[in-house]
Amino acid sequence: MNLKVVLDPSDEGGYTVFVPALPGCVSEGATVEESLTNIKEAIELYLEPWVSAN
Protein backbone atom coordinates (compact mmCIF):
# COMPACT_ATOMS: atom_id res chain seq x y z
CA MET A 1 0.00 0.00 0.00
CA ASN A 2 1.30 3.43 -0.93
CA LEU A 3 0.11 6.47 0.98
CA LYS A 4 1.04 10.10 0.48
CA VAL A 5 2.58 11.74 3.55
CA VAL A 6 3.19 15.44 4.13
CA LEU A 7 6.24 16.68 6.03
CA ASP A 8 5.84 20.07 7.63
CA PRO A 9 8.91 21.72 9.19
CA SER A 10 8.19 22.79 12.77
CA ASP A 11 9.08 26.25 14.04
CA GLU A 12 10.80 24.60 17.03
CA GLY A 13 12.85 22.31 14.77
CA GLY A 14 12.10 18.87 13.44
CA TYR A 15 9.09 17.90 11.39
CA THR A 16 5.43 17.12 11.79
CA VAL A 17 4.21 14.50 9.33
CA PHE A 18 0.65 13.50 8.50
CA VAL A 19 -1.27 11.28 6.10
CA PRO A 20 -4.08 13.15 4.31
CA ALA A 21 -5.92 9.88 3.52
CA LEU A 22 -5.96 8.84 7.21
CA PRO A 23 -7.53 11.59 9.34
CA GLY A 24 -5.75 11.97 12.66
CA CYS A 25 -2.71 9.92 11.61
CA VAL A 26 0.04 12.31 12.66
CA SER A 27 3.56 11.94 13.99
CA GLU A 28 6.77 13.93 14.29
CA GLY A 29 10.52 13.56 14.39
CA ALA A 30 13.76 15.49 14.70
CA THR A 31 14.91 14.55 11.17
CA VAL A 32 13.22 13.58 7.91
CA GLU A 33 14.33 9.96 8.39
CA GLU A 34 13.04 9.80 11.95
CA SER A 35 9.76 11.43 10.92
CA LEU A 36 9.22 8.88 8.13
CA THR A 37 10.05 5.98 10.46
CA ASN A 38 7.61 7.34 13.04
CA ILE A 39 4.77 7.86 10.54
CA LYS A 40 5.21 4.30 9.21
CA GLU A 41 4.65 3.04 12.75
CA ALA A 42 1.68 5.39 13.19
CA ILE A 43 0.14 4.11 9.94
CA GLU A 44 0.52 0.50 11.08
CA LEU A 45 -1.15 1.30 14.40
CA TYR A 46 -3.88 3.31 12.68
CA LEU A 47 -4.72 0.47 10.29
CA GLU A 48 -4.29 -2.39 12.80
CA PRO A 49 -7.96 -2.53 13.92
CA TRP A 50 -9.12 -2.53 10.29
CA VAL A 51 -6.66 -5.25 9.26
CA SER A 52 -7.54 -7.38 12.30
CA ALA A 53 -11.26 -7.10 11.54
CA ASN A 54 -10.86 -8.24 7.95
Residue 52: its pLDDT value, please? 73
Is there a contact between 3 and 10 (Cβ–Cβ < 8 Å)? no
Q: Is the dihedral of CA 10, 14, 19, 24 positive or negative?
A: negative
Nearest-angstrom CA–CA distance, 35 and 18: 10
Residues in contact with 1: Cβ distance below 8 Å, sequence separation at least 6, in sequence order: none
Whether 26 contacts 17, CB under 8 Å: yes
pLDDT tens, 1-54? Answer: 799 999 999 999 999 999 999 999 999 999 999 999 999 999 999 998 877 776
